[in-house]
Amino acid sequence: MKTITASFIAIGLLGAAQLQAAGITPGNGVFIDDVSYDMACAADSTCPSVTRRLAQYAPNTTYLFPDFGYIDTVPATGNQPASIQSTCGKLSPGTVATYYAMPMIKPDVFNEPSLGQCQAGTAVTAHYAQNGKYRVLPLFTASGSRMFDQASTAQLTRLATAIAQLINDDPNAAGVAFDIEPAFKNPTTTRDFFGTLAKQLSNGKIIAVFDANRRDLAALQLHNALVLQALYDYGAFPNYLENQAIPLADYDGGRHPGYATLTQQYARAYFGNGNQPQMNVPVMFVLPGSATSTIWSALQFYNQGVSTKGPGNPYPNTAGAACLDQPPSWLNQFLTEPNGHPGNGLASAFVGSGNCTRYDNTQTYQGRSVTFIDYFEASLNAVQTVVKALPSEQQTHYIGSALYTMRAAGPQAEDYNDIDCAKHYYSVYGTKSLLSRCIGVFPTDIGDTILQAFSK
């Protein structure tokens, strides 16, 4: 998820009472990945699921954003309602979106119980709502924004209407969130999709949007819309080396701003740097709680001998080390030889030195090695500094911050990158087009110390 380009338009500010009446209440949140496994984890009283960890380390969390909805395409031309499938099973003809959570590997390809099972959308929201304890906004992603910009008003309106009805019918959904990148180019796209959807949501249900075209969203003057402003994955790579972690501090003798400086600039820019009018769109800043593509403690580069497709080798002038993982034993049955036949010790070969190399973040900060919590604290300090300096009428438009991204702790969180990149190795999928080099970043989950710091 990338940052939202700042743009501004003068529209009157909504007060705190108006926002709360529309369903936008102050509070912090957490994005949840790998929902199927987390729900399987929660069924085991000894497993550290997301809701158990939040209750222990961040009990004042308000919003949960489980990432499981997907928009595959816009509806075809015509008058038929857009079809969204919300139950597990074979897709019905004409389905344009799904509202259920699948495990990392499709069970019909390889059924591994520890990964969890497919969960219907209403089961997901009921699980995370915890009888009203949390406000759950299921997150929809899509294959890209271009298909939206190329669609007609009728197509977008039908899709928006179908999703709004789905959310209205789900008693445990407090609204809906979207991560469709890049931002829509056409103002009419924002109007026809986000505008239509927001206006059709039941009273008290809200819409939250990553990577929104903020000028176009603000022009709609929606009282139940919220921007999710990411505070990570921006700035140039030092020396323009691919897949290198962004420096935390300013570098090249202070000529280039590091992450700490940039984060405060981006947070301040949302509110106009004090000399531009604030837009009438409340904001929740999204902070890095676990590794992203440019902010990480370590990076593992898989499948170097499988294909030339995929990302280039990170740190071309820096020696890597052997991967440190102990992959799950069941990967031996999922992986295959290049000819598709079963083999022995395939999981060890997959993370072995011939296929996987680890690169650690070698930066130093204040005389010590950088750790991931340094990035998190920089983003949190930036938000606190900027918000405290705002006039009171603008402070009401800061709703809170959310951590990206959390999954159940334990073996699955530790093995997440191995499983994700194993799908691009020789496996029972048997699809040559999937073969590609693959990058996994660490930490893969939000640590308990970050949750505690976030909750203070």
Tell me which H or E stretch contains 126.
helix 121-129
Question: What is the model's pLDDT at position 201?
Answer: 98
Q: How many domains does the chain have?
A: 1
Question: What is the model's pLDDT at position 272?
Answer: 78
Please give the Cα distance from 193 to 82 (Å, whole number). 13
Evaluate whether residue 320 is within a structural domain: no
Evaluate whether residue 342 is within a structural domain: no
Please give the Cα distance from 312 to 192 (Å, whole number). 39
Question: What is the model's pLDDT at position 253?
Answer: 82
Please give the Cα distance from 242 to 107 (Å, whole number). 35
Evaluate whether residue 440 is within a structural domain: no
Evaluate whether residue 415 is within a structural domain: no
Please give the Cα distance from 328 to 344 (Å, whole number). 14
- Say if CB 357 and CB 319 are below 8 A apart: no
Peptide bond into 182 cis (omega under 30): yes
Question: What is the model's pLDDT at position 32?
Answer: 98
Evaluate whether residue 249 is within a structural domain: yes
Please give the Cα distance from 372 to 416 (Å, whole number). 18
Please give the Cα distance from 295 to 237 (Å, whole number). 11
Q: Can you give the residue range of the structural domain that contains 387?
A: 16-296+369-410+446-455
CATH of the domain at 88: 3.20.20.80
- Positions in the chain short of pLDDT 50: 1-12, 274-278
For the segment 183-241, what is each residue's pLDDT rounded down to a tens digit? Answer: 999 999 999 999 999 999 999 999 999 988 888 999 999 999 999 999 998 875 555 55
Evaluate whether residue 275 is within a structural domain: yes
293: phi then psi, degrees, rounded to nearest 5? -65, -20
Please give the Cα distance from 212 to 160 (Å, whole number). 16
Evaluate whether residue 428 is within a structural domain: no
Question: What is the model's pLDDT at position 17?
Answer: 76
Evaluate whether residue 210 is within a structural domain: yes
Please give the Cα distance from 439 to 302 (Å, whole number). 6
Report pTM: 0.94
